């Protein structure tokens, strides 16, 4: 692709010719994704590289996440491996806000977006540290640790808590789901 980003309108006009890769967790993907999107979680990108290279050889790749941050990270990682891909500006959030179709697998429950899961976990840990710190001063270190982690997350544009939450069962793909996706991309 000539550019590294596509707006929602540009992506919508070209959707029929793009291979869309959603790099969110399986739970987030199940909550709604672009039509025809394949789910390859960001933490599985390296394992999917051969299939993604094959798919990129057939046509343009569009990487998608909730806001565009993780998909931009995926594009950078792919570029390091010689694979060209674009990211959707504003992600699925912008896509849905502009009224475009969002697909949900039949029979799946809606999972919270990863950023929402991180906010709940971080807020709960800080609150627990402050409450427990009223009785045991050392418990305030929990709040300080979470605050430090959030600052580090902002400075490095990474999120260790999201990585940890992504390992929870409801955010994990079944092995056959990812294997099937990789087979479809390689085929």
Say if CB 8 and CB 90 are below 8 A apart.
Answer: yes
Phi, psi of 24 (to 5 degrees): -75, 170
Task: Look at residue 1 in the predicted model and tell me its pLDDT.
Answer: 46
pLDDT, mean of residues 132-157: 92
Q: Is 90 left (phi over 0), alpha (psi -120 to 50) or beta?
A: left
Q: What angle is formed at CA 64 by the lines to CA 47 and CA 107, rounded to 5 degrees?
A: 85
For the record, the structure tokens of 61 come out as: 């790749």
Say if CB 83 and CB 4 are below 8 A apart.
Answer: no
pLDDT, mean of residues 135-144: 92
For the record, the structure tokens of 187 come out as: 């085929």
pLDDT, mean of residues 72-84: 94
Is the pLDDT assigned to residue 175 strictly greater than 60? no
Task: Look at residue 15 in the predicted model and tell me its pLDDT.
Answer: 94
Supply the mean pLDDT for the chain: 88
What percent of the chain has pLDDT above 70? 93
Instruction: Give the C-alpha separation, 135 to 138, whole Å.
Output: 9
pLDDT digits (tens, 9 = 90+) for 83-139: 999 999 999 999 999 999 898 876 666 667 788 889 999 999 999 999 999 999 999
pLDDT digits (tens, 9 = 90+) for 153-167: 888 888 889 888 888
6 or 162, greater pLDDT:
6
Q: Helix count (H) and strand count (E) of the chain?
A: 9, 5
């Amino acid at each position: 692709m000539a550019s590294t980003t596509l707006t929602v309108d540009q992506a919508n006009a070209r959707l029929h010719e793009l291979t869309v890769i959603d790099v969110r967790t399986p739970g987030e993907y199940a909550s709604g994704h672009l039509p025809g999107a394949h789910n390859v979680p960001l933490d599985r990108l390296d394992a999917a590289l051969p299939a993604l290279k094959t798919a990129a050889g057939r046509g343009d790749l569009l990487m998608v996440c909730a806001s565009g941050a993780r998909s931009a990270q995926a594009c950078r990682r792919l570029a390091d491996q010689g694979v060209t891909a674009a990211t959707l500006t504003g992600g699925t959030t912008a896509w849905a806000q502009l009224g475009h179709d969002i697909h949900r697998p039949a029979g799946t429950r809606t999972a919270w977006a990863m950023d929402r899961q991180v906010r709940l976990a971080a807020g709960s840990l800080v609150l627990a540290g402050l409450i427990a710190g009223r009785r045991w001063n050392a418990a305030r270190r929990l709040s300080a640790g979470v605050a430090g982690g959030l600052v580090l997350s902002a400075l490095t544009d990474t999120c260790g808590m999201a990585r940890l939450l992504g390992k929870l069962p409801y955010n994990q793909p079944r092995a056959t789901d990812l294997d099937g996706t990789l087979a479809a991309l390689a085929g």
